[in-house]
Copies of this chain bind each other. A is one copy, B any other.
Amino acid sequence: MKDFWYYVPTRINFGPSCFQYLIETVRRWGSKPLLVYGGGSIKKNGAYDAVVERLKEAGIDYAELGGVEPNPRYESVLEGNEICRKEKCDILLPIGGASAIDCAKSIAATAGYEGEPWDIISKKVPVGKVLPIITVPTLAAAGSEMSTSSVISRMDINMKAGYSSPDMRPRASFLNPEFTYTMPRRQTAAGVADAISHVMESYFSNVPEAYLQTKFGEALFDTLFHYGQIAYEEPENYEARSNIMWACCWAINGLTVKGNPVGWSMHKLEHELSAYYDVTHGIGLAIIMPAWLTWMLTEENAYRYLGYLKASFGIDSSGMDKMEAARLAITKTKEYFKLLDLPLSLREIGVEEKLLPVMAHEAAVIGKDYFDKAFRVLDEKSALEIYRLAYE
């Protein structure tokens, strides 16, 4: 196990009764929240009312930024900054998916910055003062409600920039699994794929002595694969929704990574996709995952695939040829995503073949640090090989 520090001071309030703590939490961290959200879904699933009614009842003034896009845009961050200044908001309160939360995190991290906010988002300038963030997630996917990172897109320069800071970790999050009942089926599937990819990036590492982290990873695989299908088939199954929602947090909050470092290369490959095509993050990942697993496999690292096979699909590989078992794990992964009706190739979602080398080049440049420390070291050539595997 490598040396590490672990610090996750987000207070999670979980379950339909969680909003009993909302007002004391808002007052603990600020006085006037800026609500940040996307389209109309939060007004249908009850999340908006759950927050606004309590704020009104408590006499707490607030401002609003609606219409934040999936793969949130830089423009929304700028707009949020402006509202924050004008309305003197001192706390961010995103309601919705990772898009709303990531946008709010970037508003919080740039609201007090005098220069061009993109400096911070693109890591040219380190994150300074961050306004406190309290989240109300209504999707189970990226786990942004307990994580330190934010991803913002600029379509004008085809850039999707991810960055993180301990201060961008939400102070508190309010997780009501019932709000996820109305997630579109496609989003339920994409969210599960996203969380699975988070576990996968750290599970496929070269630190076998980080045994506990590996076992925690297997607990998460087991839970996500098991309940992902149930939630897809029975959207109002509370057991499935609550387990997925809680698992999504642990898939990214550091539990499986700390002491077990590895470059998250799959995400770098996906970020290129979303930068060009505005693909839903989880869908991009579901397509790249089997290709990535295929390219990464060697005789030496096959043992990781066997643990994954057992935890995710309940298949004991004892007695099997290990490479055969590893390939079965990849086939099973594809079959699972097919079961959730996710697209299985880049071609299928309309990616142009001629763009693959461009994305491979950019991924290798922007993601060099991640590629160098990946499960198997990647470069532009191998990135292209993975994109080609994912294309067919």
Contacts and interface: CB of A to CB of B under 8 A. Distances in A.
B9 A21 contact: no
A3 interface: yes
A221 to B, nearest CB: 9
Contact of A243 (B7, B12, B212): B212
Interface string A233-249: 00000110011001100
A258 B227 CA distance: 19
A374 B13 CA distance: 24
Interface string A210-223: 01100110111011
A18 B6 contact: no
Given A8-B8, A227-B211, A246-B212, A1 B239 contact: yes
A246 B219 contact: no
A163 to B, nearest CB: 21
B15 A4 contact: yes
B9 A9 contact: yes
B5 A13 contact: yes
The contact size tier of chain A is: 35 or more
By CB atoms of chain B within 10 A, which of A15, A209, A246 has the most?
A246
Interface in A186-218: 209, 211-212, 215-216, 218
Interface string A1-36: 111111111111111111001000000000000000
A226 interface: yes
A259 interface: yes
A254 to B, nearest CB: 10
A374 B392 CA distance: 55
A209 B227 CA distance: 11
Interface of A: 1-18, 21, 209, 211-212, 215-216, 218-220, 222-223, 226-227, 238-239, 242-243, 246-247, 250, 258-259, 316
In the complex, the 8 A-B pairs of residues with the closest C-beta atoms, listed nearest first: A3-B15, A215-B219, A9-B9, A7-B11, A1-B242, A209-B239, A6-B12, A212-B223
8 contacts: A1-B239, A3-B17, A5-B11, A5-B12, A5-B13, A209-B242, A211-B239, A219-B219
Given A6-B14, A219-B219, 12 more contacts: A1-B14, A1-B239, A2-B15, A3-B14, A4-B15, A6-B12, A7-B12, A8-B9, A211-B223, A215-B219, A216-B216, A218-B219
